[in-house]
Amino acid sequence: MAGRLVKFRGAFPGQVHSVFPRVAPFQGGEYGTFTQFLISNLLGGLGFSHGDSRVDQSHSPDYQNGIFIGMKPATITTTKPTSLLSHTPSRPFFPRGFLWDEGFHLLPVLEWDFDLAITVLQSWLALMDEDGWIAREQILGPEARSKVPPDFWTQYTDYANPPTLLLLINPILAKLTKQAPYYGNPSVYLSSESDARRLLGDMYPLLSRHYHWFRATQVGNLSASFPRPHGFEAHEAYRWRGRTPDHCLTSGLDDYPRANPPHPGELHVDALSWVGAAADAMHAFALHMRRGRDVGLFAGHAAAVRRNLDILHWDPAHKTYCDATVRDGAFERVCHLGYISLMPFLLGLVGANHTHLPAVLDLMADPERLWSAHGLRSLAVGDGEYRQDEDYWRGAVWMHINVLAVVRLREIGAQDGRERARARTMAAELREATVRTVHESWKSTGFIWEQYDDKTGKGRRSRAFTGWTACVLLLFAMEDQGRRMSGIHGDDAPWAGAGVSLWLSSQPLWFTFALLVVLVALRRPILVFWRTTVRSRMPGRRSRSHES
């Protein structure tokens, strides 16, 4: 056993570098230690929980109306014990499973150990009820409850969380179809087509049910009861249930400022954006599974979401996406510039030639609003709520959101469009700022943190928070042929090799054979041209197999 441990420790640095190679400007040895720390602690936060839960299954109309001050749950049921295998955001501070965190946790885990990530995903999906609901916070058993204030024990079957498990569909499909490379631990699913088919066949109905549950329970009120702009698409508008004047915990952005007071006619731009991203993912899944009827259904949902984002949530005066509410009998957009303003872009719903893309990039790049030396801040400097009260999502830099921003900017920068050059520059600068901030704080404190100060870059809130902050692992290899970036947004992140394969497969056999003969005959001049011309212009490239 001791010998195997020594062998594992000796091989571990090389294995980490193989899966998460570091390219400019992060080749230094200190970054090698840093990447090993990140993946080790993320995996070390994997835990098994077992126990009962407190659930309110009453579906009270009061919960639907969204005013919950001083209310007591109508009925609390103690469920039968269930089990969960999940990564935890922070072992000392949040030692339990959180639904919207887990989708981000699994993005780097999919690269490291595909089968482990699938096992964790299956464990979460096994908690789903017959309607498609999964409790957003898994407080299983008395030991887990001892770490949580009693006011938060009860889970409500009408309450959602951002459906980040659906973010995993495109990366999983990209790996299984060999459209994205895999350098992690050996995988049963990636080596066996029959196991892969069985896996996807099991996952498809569960993820579809989860998607439809979200649309059914979080739908906004688009009836004639409340005024709306002309031309909106029926059904495709959403509102987080469970909101109070000070918090919208279900959105995941707890104290991010919203319209006050809460109103049953309000609509949330981030909720609509999550549905759009989920519809895109399910559309890709349905295409792969050849579910023709579902393909059209999900495509229709996605198209309607995009139209309603611009009709219901785009504010021409502020040139940004905003929440909406009803005030004094009139439709009104409420604009707090920050992460929710970026959600349509971050989740792949604002394309390279979208009319509003320049304004979105202007907002991101403005140091007087969201851009900081340490990453994108969660709320604009000029907002009246900036760094006020709890100051949780009111200005601090959150790294999982910044990772989404870098990925999305990189995708826009790879496509034809007016903003291509600016997006590439912003992606490179934001990538460097994000990684350096987490790294410098880790060097000085020894910890990964929940969030980072937008002025100083110092870690804030919970320490030893190697949960979704560990997503910065995905940025180290961003320049390495974009291999770590493919798959998150599906069609917005095409893999060139897949396109070549599809093109070749459409040609006659004699053409493919003739092309191969020509390539073999010209291999020497091609190599000479590569070494003397192309490679000389790429100083940042280096072999992934050599540790700096």
pLDDT tens-place string over residues 336-364: 999 999 999 999 999 999 999 999 999 99
Rg over alpha carbons for the chain, rounded to the nearest Å, is 24
- pLDDT at position 502, please? 34
Task: Give 389-426 pLDDT, tens digit per residue.
Answer: 999 999 999 999 999 999 999 999 999 999 999 999 99
Residue 523: which pLDDT band, with cuts at 50, 70 and 90?
A: very low
- The mean per-residue pLDDT over the stretch 442-455 comes to 97
What are the residue boundaries of the structural domains of the chain, listed by start? Answer: 48-217
- Selected catalytic residue, list 115, 129, 246, 254: 254
Question: 407-417 as b/e, with b when 16 or more CB fall inside 10 Å?
Answer: bbbbbbbbeeb
| Identity at 531, one-letter amino acid code | R
- Selected catalytic residue, list 266, 411, 450, 479: 450
Q: Are 52 and 78 in contact (CB under 8 A)?
A: yes
Name the percent of the chain in helix, strand, coil, to the closest 5.
50, 10, 40
- Any catalytic annotation for residue 102? no
What are the backbone dihedrals phi and psi of residue 512, each rounded to the nearest 5 degrees, phi first? -60, -45
- Any catalytic annotation for residue 450? yes
- The mean per-residue pLDDT over the stretch 173-197 comes to 97
Q: pLDDT over 90 for what percent of the chain?
A: 80
Residues in the chain: 548
Bridge partners, 356 (sequence order): none
430, burial (CB in 10 Å: exposed 0-12, middle 13-18, buried 19+): buried
- Is the model's pLDDT at 96 over the cut of 80? yes
Instruction: Give the three-class secondary structure for 184.
Output: coil
CA–CA separation, 343 and 346 (whole Å): 5
pTM for the structure as a whole:
0.87
What are the backbone dihedrals phi and psi of residue 352, each rounded to the nearest 5 degrees, phi first? -65, -25
Residue 479: which pLDDT band, with cuts at 50, 70 and 90?
A: low
- pLDDT at position 504, please? 37
- Is the model's pLDDT at 522 over the cut of 70? no
Residue 4: which pLDDT band, with cuts at 50, 70 and 90?
A: confident
How remote is the C-alpha of 241 from its chain's centroid? Answer: 21
User: Nearest to residue 298, comparing CAs of 287, 307, 288, 308?
Assistant: 287
How remote is the C-alpha of 358 from its chain's centroid? Answer: 23
- pLDDT at position 541, please? 30
- Is the model's pLDDT at 25 over the cut of 80? yes
CA–CA separation, 54 and 478 (whole Å): 43
Residue 237: partners with Cβ closer than 8 Å, 6 or more residues away: 219, 220, 222, 267, 272, 308, 312
CA–CA separation, 345 and 427 (whole Å): 14
CA–CA separation, 433 and 260 (whole Å): 34
